[in-house]
């Protein structure tokens, strides 16, 4: 809901693709600056407490959006604070999942966790579109504030079954030793030496960096498809509709044995659907193609998360997930920057179609060069 309202307010104020794209800079900066320390922090401290503290910061940033001014500077500030809280929260939250369910149910738990998240992101953009058209962005920000507060309540009730110690035992003083640079970057070393994890998350980084069209949806809704705020809400919801449909299908089907090949085809399908969406002038075709991008992306998400969760020891899980979050944030947020600047120079259609073509070329390159990924079987 927040992403829809923010992009709508920014575009109405500026009519600038660059301003929409620069949202990515604001949101990626905290991840680049703090993701590695955040992963190490999640491995050394109580993950539930980290989730609670960061959620309080997120609520504070949500409260700022309820003020009278919705200037570009205020919106950018709130997005920065939100991204900062998520930079620290994400490694702790995702690393906690194996401590909630038994190991033999982990893959299914990842699928259902993805499904629930996608269910929220289906309803959020659609509701935001209706509220924007009928009551304005302030109402959207109010509902988002209430949801953020409810999340904090949920974290208060969360209880982890077990949590293996992440580091050697503390000295008799009971105080954790000061982190060293080697400990902080241990996640990077682990990913660098695990060629399968490295190739899987690198594929996602480069594919989404060029293939994402989300940042330009306000332009499509106003200038190309002529659907207004309600249409923008449905355009933002369409990928999640596809994603949750695929997640439900995956949760009731046996896991794909040739996982590497499935991943490569899924990312290629993401690029192809992006190309068709870029050329489309039909609302229904556009929605269908965005839903297909979501379905393909969900396959990628479940396979990558299963890989990282099962290949990484618990003591390193926060740091490895922090590295993965850097890759994801760079692809999503810098992808928005790339889309915005390319659209400003060459137009929105060229930006989206060119990104889809680049995604397919990237998949072709990985299929030829990443032997570990190509041969990966679950």
Model confidence over 33-74: pLDDT tens digits? 887 787 778 888 888 899 999 999 999 999 988 876 778 888
Range of the domain at 141: 2-158+183-374
In angstroms, the CA 266 to CA 271 distance is: 9
Is 358 inside any structural domain?
yes
Crossing angle of the two packed helices 228-251 and 2-14, in degrees rounded to 10 = 150
Task: Please check whether residue 89 lies inside any domain of the structure.
Answer: yes
As for how many domains the chain has, the answer is: 1
Which residues touch 101 (CB under 8 Å, ≥6 apart)? Answer: 109
User: In sequence order, which residues have a C-beta less than 8 Å from that of residue 133 and are 6 or more positions away?
Assistant: 228, 229, 230
Q: How far is CA 19 from CA 11, 301, 341, 355, in A?
A: 8, 29, 9, 19
Q: What is the DSSP track for 186-231?
A: HHHHHHHH-HHHHHHHHHHHHHHHHH--GGGHHHIIIIIS--HHHH
Whether 1 shows a pLDDT value over 80: the answer reads yes
CA–CA separation, 294 vs 122, rounded Å?
Answer: 11
Q: Is 281 part of a structural domain of the chain?
A: yes
Q: Is 167 within the bounds of a domain?
A: no
Q: Give domain status of residue 171, yes or no.
A: no
Q: What is the mean pLDDT of the chain?
A: 80
What is the mean predicted confidence (pLDDT) over 225-239? Answer: 82
Which of 339, 237, 248 shows the shortest CA–CA distance to 291? 237
Residue 315 included in any domain: yes
Model confidence pLDDT, tens digit, residues 82-107: 989 988 888 888 888 888 888 788 77
Confidence (pLDDT) at 174: 46
Asked if the structure places residue 303 within a domain, the reply is yes
Q: What is the pLDDT of residue 331?
A: 67
228: left (phi over 0), alpha (psi -120 to 50) or beta: left
Share of the chain above pLDDT 70, in %: 87
Work out the pLDDT band at 287, boundaries 50, 70, 90: very high
What pLDDT, on the 0 to 100 scale, is given for residue 256? Answer: 62
The answer to whether the beta carbons of residues 326 and 338 sit under 8 Å apart is: no
pLDDT band of residue 255 (cuts 50, 70, 90) is low
Residue 164 lies in a domain: no
User: How many other CB atoms are found less than 10 A from the CB of residue 249?
Assistant: 13
CATH code assigned at 247 = 1.20.1250.20
């Amino acid at each position: 809901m927040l992403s829809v309202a923010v992009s709508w307010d920014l575009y109405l104020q500026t009519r600038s693709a660059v301003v929409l794209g620069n949202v990515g800079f604001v949101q990626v900066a905290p991840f680049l600056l703090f993701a590695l320390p955040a992963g190490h922090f999640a491995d050394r401290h109580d993950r539930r407490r980290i989730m609670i503290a960061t959620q309080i910061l997120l609520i504070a940033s949500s409260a700022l959006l309820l003020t009278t001014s919705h200037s570009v500077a205020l919106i950018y500030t709130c997005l920065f604070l939100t991204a900062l809280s998520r930079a620290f929260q994400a490694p702790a939250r995702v690393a906690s999942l194996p401590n909630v369910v038994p190991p033999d149910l982990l893959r299914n738990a990842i699928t259902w966790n993805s499904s629930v998240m996608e269910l929220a992101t289906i309803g959020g953009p659609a509701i935001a579109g209706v509220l924007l058209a009928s009551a304005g962005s302030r109402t959207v920000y109010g509902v988002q504030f209430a949801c953020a507060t409810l999340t904090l309540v949920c974290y208060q009730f969360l209880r982890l079954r077990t949590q293996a110690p992440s580091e050697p035992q503390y000295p008799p003083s009971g105080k954790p030793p000061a982190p060293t640079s080697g400990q902080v970057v241990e996640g990077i070393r682990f990913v660098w030496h695990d060629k399968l994890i490295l190739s899987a998350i690198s594929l996602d980084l480069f594919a989404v960096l060029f293939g994402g069209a989300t940042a330009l949806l306000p332009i499509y809704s106003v200038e190309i498809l002529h659907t207004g705020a309600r249409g923008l809400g449905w355009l933002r919801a369409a990928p999640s509709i596809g994603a949750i449909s695929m997640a439900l299908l995956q949760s009731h089907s046996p896991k794909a044995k040739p996982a590497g090949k499935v991943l490569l085809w899924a990312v290629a399908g993401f690029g192809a659907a992006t190309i068709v969406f870029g050329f489309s002038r039909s609302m229904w075709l556009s929605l269908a193609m965005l839903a297909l991008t979501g379905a393909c992306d969900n396959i990628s998400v479940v396979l990558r998360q299963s890989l990282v969760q099962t290949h990484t020891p618990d003591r390193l899980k926060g740091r490895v997930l922090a590295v993965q979050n850097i890759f994801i944030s760079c692809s999503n947020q810098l992808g928005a920057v790339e889309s915005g600047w390319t659209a400003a120079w060459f137009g929105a259609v060229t930006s989206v179609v060119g990104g889809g073509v680049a995604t397919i070329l990237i998949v072709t390159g990985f299929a030829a060069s990443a032997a570990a990924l190509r041969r990966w079987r679950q």
